[in-house]
Each structure stands twice: as structure tokens, then as C-alpha cells.
Amino acid sequence: MSFLLQALVPIPYLVPIITGSVLPVWMETDTLTYHELHTTAFYEMDDVPKTFDTLFWNLQTEFLLKYNGITNKTWSDSYTGVKFINYPLIYPEISWYLPLNLSWIEELVKFSTYEKRYLEKENNVILILRDDKERVILGYYEDQELRLATYVSIWWKKSKTKGWIYRIVHNLKDRRSWLNKREPMPYALQYDWDYFMHWWDTSEVENSHGCIRVPWLYIKRLYEHVPENKKTVIIIHKPYQISLEKNK
């Protein structure tokens, strides 16, 4: 009987049951070794803080530190002595919001007809959506399956992040901003004239200059796995309106 009940649950809506630092078995993880942590573009830029906040973003740090068995550190501490870091490619809490299969997303979000065309025909799609707690979520779908998800930071004052449909092209690992005091933008993925998905301060305060700021571990993974030559679409859907409700 229990097997029958499980079979009736729609797979794309399965959500993780998180106890302590345990992840559901279906959730894929990645590992960065000591060598990788100390040889990336982030580490080699002197003005990039060597803190756990840089790796995770403070909104995600508490869970990810516990997941790695690090109980005596906080988001502001240095990671330089850590031998390796494990992290889930899909941040667990986001599984309550994004379906595992892209074909289910239209039942959750009121996309425009124009956006739906891209959702239906593209193999690689990055969605930027705001949830019911006013947090901005990034979800990367490859061949309809959710491959990566994290919280990100945008801006909503003088330089709003524009909602639209773009194409992603790779840029430089060690890019710096030419418009904003040469601030570091490592692992930058360009999607508009001078707007990128990149690492920089991803605190809960929405403080970019119009770009999308992504935690280190996740932007590095995106940079290395998102297909090149404009084969990946990014849909920034109404970034200042709530679009996603938590699945009950």
C-alpha cells in the first residue's frame, strides 16, 4: 500500500525532508577540494573576501556549514583552512518552490505567451523569480530537468534588474567592472550589454547595479556547465513581483 501511495505522488513536486544536515538521496551534490578552493579566480583576486559568505551567501551559510560538519564557524569566518566543501547543486529549501521538471513550471507561474514559447522550445533555461518571502531564486534547467538552484541578489532602486528574455554568453573568469570602480566580477556570464550574472556581495540586501549576483559555488558551476554560443536562455520574470508560492 505504501508503494502505491508513493507512485501517486507527481515526481516533479517531490520535496526534500531535511533533518539536520541530511539531504534527500535524489539531490545531486558537488565537492570543491582544497586545491580548487585556493586556485579559482575568486581566491586569486586580493579584494575578494576569503569568507564562507563568499562561498555560500549568508542566507544559505548556516545550513551549508552544518552540512559540511562545520559547527564552530559563521558566515564571516575565513574558509582558507578548509580541506574541501560539499554543497547541494539544488539548495534544499528551493525545492519547495521550483519543480524538478520544467514542464510543470507553467502551473506555478503566470508566464506571458512570449515567455512560454521559450520555455517550450529551449533545452537550456535559467529562470529568475521572486518567491513569497521576497527572496530571488535562480533555477537552471537543462533538458527540462532542474540542475542547479540558489538564492541570488538583484537591485531595485536606481539600477533595477530588467525583466526580459536574454541569451547567455561566456565572458572572462577574472572580469572586473569598467563602470563601477573595477569591482571584481569573477565567472561572469554576460546576458546584456553591460549586465552579467557574476559573483560579488550576495547579502540579503539587494545591492547590485542591475546585474544578478550569485554565490561563488553556484556561479562557478554555472560558468563551467552552461552551454556557450547563446544556447542558454535566461528569463528574468517580473523580478520585483512575487511569482512563486511555496508548494503545500
Q: Say yes or no to pLDDT of 8 above 50.
A: no
Top-confidence residue, 89 or 197: 89
Q: What is the mean pLDDT of residues 164-172?
A: 82
% of the chain with per-residue pLDDT over 90: 41
* CATH assignment of 92-244, among 3.40.640.10, 2.70.98.60, 3.40.1390.10, 2.40.440.10: 2.40.440.10
pLDDT, position 248: 55
Of the candidates 21, 72, 100, 44, which has an alpha carbon nearest to the alpha carbon of residue 216?
44
* Average pLDDT for the chain: 80
Q: Which helix (H) or strand (E) holds 86?
A: strand 84-88
Please, which pLDDT band fits residue 178 given cuts at 50, 70 and 90?
A: low
Domain boundaries, the chain: 29-88, 92-244
Rg of the chain, C-alpha, whole Å: 18
Burial class (CB in 10 A: 0-12, 13-18, 19+), 197: buried
Grid cell for residue 207:
545591492
| The residue type at 35 | H
CA distance 110 to 91: 23
The predicted-structure confidence for 10-68, as pLDDT tens digits, reads as follows: 333 333 444 444 555 567 899 999 999 898 877 777 777 888 988 888 788 899 999 99
